[in-house]
Structure 1
Amino acid sequence: MWRRGVVLAVLAVLLGLLMVLHAKIPNAVGNMGSLLETFLPWLGLGVPVLLIAALLRRSATALVALLLPVVAWVNLFGGLLTDKSGTGGNLTVATHNVDAGNADPTATARDIAASGADVVALEELTPAALPTYRRELAKTFRYHAVEGTVGLWSKRPLSDAAPVDIKMGWTRALRATVTAADGQQFAVYVAHLPSVRVKVEAGFTANQRDGSARALGEAIAADPVPKVMLLGDLNGTMNDRSLAPVTSQMRSAQGAAGDGFGFSWPAGFAMARIDQIMMKGMDPVAAWTMPATGSDHLPIAASVKV
């Protein structure tokens, strides 16, 4: 049983090395490193497949080799399997890519209004649907600001709303100041980074998104307000090295206070969390994914201690 299953053992070792050395896989060819990191948690599905094969083959060698990917996966993602949510939050925030092709923006707006959030960011607002969102959300949120295709609605006062240049040629990001109930002020960025695609001839086409991430990271780093929050669709996960200009300076609400992976896209069978709530100078105490609306993304929310 030690001589059988050598091929399975090699596959197990390769799977483990992919997890351990994912940061070493270069982006020079088709952004393969970022593509792998986007779906990195799903590599864990290879473990039960190889385990079943090893048991059928009665290979002790393959079973021992499987320890490498198991330990690697637990080290990377084991912390996400526990519920880290707590209490003590004094502000609830949410973000939702409402989908430009949403067939029922009225229902989506009403779902968002009923979420209990104090501050809501929306992305992919179209000129045709914007009046609907304004009308429906005005019943719940007294203040709002819209720049290009992104908007921010709040029960607390908003000020200094302005577009943020993320090097796209049109506006898909804004920044505003929110005044909390106790008088504290914090900056809120709403951003929708460029979409990415997987193409046979070009690989993972994420270069425009990566450039926008750098511009957004620079804006956040230069913000004079010590408390900063980012809400939006970043078209990338916290594991993606190309989002490091943003993720390296902010905490993920899901990573710090969520329960599970919190995948948000696609809504029908969510496989990645590309919608993010991040912050610095504030503490997330809980994070969750909300029920589906008419969008291809799931809305996400977090409770925050300002």
Structure 2
Amino acid sequence: MKYARTRGNPGTEPSGGASRGDASGRGGRRARGRAVAVSSALVTFLLVLPGAVPNTPGHVGSLLETFLPWLGLAVPVLLVPALLGRSRTALVSLLMPAVAWLILFAVPLFPGSTPEGGLTVVQHNVSDVNPDPAATAGALARTGADLIALEELTAPALPAYERVLASRYPHRATSGTVGLWSKHPLKEIRPVDIRPEGVGAGWNRGLRATARTPHGEVAVYVAHLPSVRIGPSAGFSSGRRDESAALLGSALAAEALDRVILLGDLNSTVDDRGLDPVTSLMEPPGRGFAFSWPASLPVARIDQVLTRSAEVTHVRSLPATGSDHLPIAARVVL
């Protein structure tokens, strides 16, 4: 029996197939590397220049600015395909958003020199459905703060706050659903009208008082801006909040005293452009994330301590009370 010989080089076909496979694999890794690099550049751009994102439709820019620190999570997410693809380009590109995030959010956390003196202040939205106002008031009193600002005070709950805080805070001012308790005398107390158009006269969420502190007089504002809404149709709806912020900004601009402290639930972070009428007139807050909302899993600091001709230092969130917000404490150096 004769055997037929196979023509051609037996190794040619397998060898050629392997080469095409290697080339395809390298091409796939290069494509993934380029995708990670482009994504890294985009994340860096958004971190550094969030204001470049338009606010229409749906106030997308404001939504991004509200949760800007969480954009850093893109770095570990992008790290996975970079490692799997063994792409040096991708890995190096991830340094851009990582460094940008560290400069913006981590470096300010490093301890620095703090001037002596000043006031300790506490800001807290106590919730209008707080099941135990007395316990909340007791927790706030134990902080020993010089000033305590509260929002969402209701008529039934107000006597509990007054009773518990009275011994340590003999001076107080209330207007509608906001209040200020102080260890130092208060004068020139008046409401601040921050009602958006179409809201009834019974909606009172702003007040102003002059506190006579050991460091001199300071104007203290307490404000609660309208809530924002996130939905599929309207997106990030903040029209009333923005309108109220403009009214508050006008009041701050007209303030005669040089030194001002603003305590309030502003319903967004200070990065949100919707608060520009307020934040453009005030000093930025001090070090620390101090997320305050929601109390069960805080993701943003929407309770703020802002100042003019003063410095806010050592901002921190306090343990939960019966509210859906965490209290915020800060040191204000006058």
TM-score bin (small chain): over 0.9
Structure 1 residue 238 displacement after superposition: 1.1
1:3 to 21, 30, 40: 30
> Does the 8 Å contact 2:289/2:316 carry over to 1?
no
**More off after superposition, 123-132 vs 186-195:** 123-132
Q: Does 1:207 align with 2:239?
A: yes
Alignment of 1:146-185 (within 5 A): 146-168=174-196, 169=199, 170-182=203-215, 184-185=216-217
Residue 261 of structure 1 aligns with an amino acid whose one-letter code is: F
Greater relative contact order: 1 or 2 (C-alpha under 8 angstroms, separation 6 or more)? 1
Change (3 A) 1:124 1:85: farther
Residue 34 of structure 1 aligns with an amino acid whose one-letter code is: S
| SS of 2:306 mapped into structure 1 | strand
Distance 2:235 2:112 in 1: 36
Kindly provide the CA deviation profile for residues 4-58 of structure 1, in whole angstroms up to 9, marking residues without a partner as x. 5232233222222222331111112111100000001100011011112211221
1:20 is matched with 48
Kindly provide the CA deviation profile for residues 93-130 of structure 1, in whole angstroms up to 9, marking residues without a partner as x. 11100011111111101001111101110001111111
Distance 1:132 1:59 in 2: 62
**More off after superposition, 186-195 vs 72-81:** 72-81
Distance 2:261 2:46 in 1: 33
Change (3 A) 1:98 1:84: farther
2:275 is matched with 243
Distance 2:333 2:101 in 1: 31
State the percentage of identical aligned residues: 54
Distance 2:284 2:229 in 1: 24
| TM-score normalised by structure 2 residue count | 0.86
> Does the 8 Å contact 2:320/2:327 carry over to 1?
yes
Q: Does 1:222 align with 2:250?
A: no
> Does the 8 Å contact 2:305/2:312 carry over to 1?
no
| SS of 1:252 mapped into structure 2 | coil
> Does the 8 Å contact 1:4/1:59 carry over to 2?
no
Structure 1 residue 85 displacement after superposition: 6.6
Greater Rg over alpha carbons, structure: 2
Residue 105 of structure 1 aligns with an amino acid whose one-letter code is: P
2:14 is matched with none
1:274 is matched with 302
Kindly provide the CA deviation profile for residues 48-95 of structure 1, in whole angstroms up to 9, marking residues without a partner as x. 111122112211121122222223323332333323473513321111
Distance 1:191 1:208 in 2: 14
Change (3 A) 1:201 1:267: same
Distance 2:237 2:307 in 1: 27
> Does the 8 Å contact 1:90/1:304 carry over to 2?
yes
2:321 to 289, 293, 305: 293
Distance 1:171 1:285 in 2: 30
> Does the 8 Å contact 1:85/1:285 carry over to 2?
no
- Please, which runs of 5 or more residues in structure 1 have no aligned partner? none
Distance 1:284 1:36 in 2: 25
Q: Does 1:302 align with 2:330?
A: yes
Change (3 A) 1:100 1:281: same
1:56 to 76, 80, 84: 84
Residue 290 of structure 1 aligns with an amino acid whose one-letter code is: L
Distance 1:20 1:157 in 2: 43
Alignment of 1:133-152 (within 5 A): 133-152=161-180
Aligned pairs, number? 301
| TM-score normalised by structure 1 residue count | 0.93
Kindly provide the CA deviation profile for residues 240-286 of structure 1, in whole angstroms up to 9, marking residues without a partner as x. 11111111121133x3xx3x311111111111010000111123343
> Does the 8 Å contact 1:214/1:246 carry over to 2?
yes
| SS of 1:226 mapped into structure 2 | coil
Alignment of 1:38-117 (within 5 A): 38-84=66-112, 86=114, 88-117=116-145
Distance 2:51 2:94 in 1: 21
Runs in 1 of length 4+ with deviation above 6 angstroms? none
Structure 1 residue 292 displacement after superposition: 1.2
Change (3 A) 1:53 1:223: same
> Does the 8 Å contact 2:291/2:300 carry over to 1?
yes
